[in-house]
Amino acid sequence: MDHVSGTAFHGESISRAPKDFTVYGFKEEHEEQGTFLGQFTFLAALNPSQTFQLKNELAGVVNYIRLQVLSNWGHPDYTCLYRFRVHGDPPKDGGEVPVPSVNKFH
């Protein structure tokens, strides 16, 4: 997860950074309930770019990710997120990983 550095703009930009968030994985686009992958805290004052590791390995391929921001560092009106990236390992069976042709954010 990346947020703009407080020194790049002005110090109050940290108040707009995400704080607590959850991540869910989905195999299909229209699943109502995905697999809970974890709840994390983005420490905006520590580093504008942070990596979070899952506690347990997830079996199978995840085609869709839902990022749910639960709180920010104090801004009353909105939360800003510069970039959110997800990385994983290729399937152990050597199979191809299907990649959707369109990225969708909800």
pLDDT at 106: 46
**pTM of the full structure:** 0.76
Q: Which fold has domain 1-89?
A: Jelly Rolls (2.60.120)
State which residues of the chain have pLDDT below 50. 9, 101-103, 105-106
Domain boundaries defined on the chain: 1-89
Query: Token pair for residue 2?
Result: 């990346």
Say whether 48 sits in a helix, a strand or coil.
coil
pLDDT at 41: 95
Task: Give the span between the Cα atoms of 9 and 28, in whole angstroms.
Answer: 39
pLDDT at 40: 94
Task: Give the span between the Cα atoms of 55 and 42, in whole angstroms.
Answer: 16
pLDDT at 27: 87
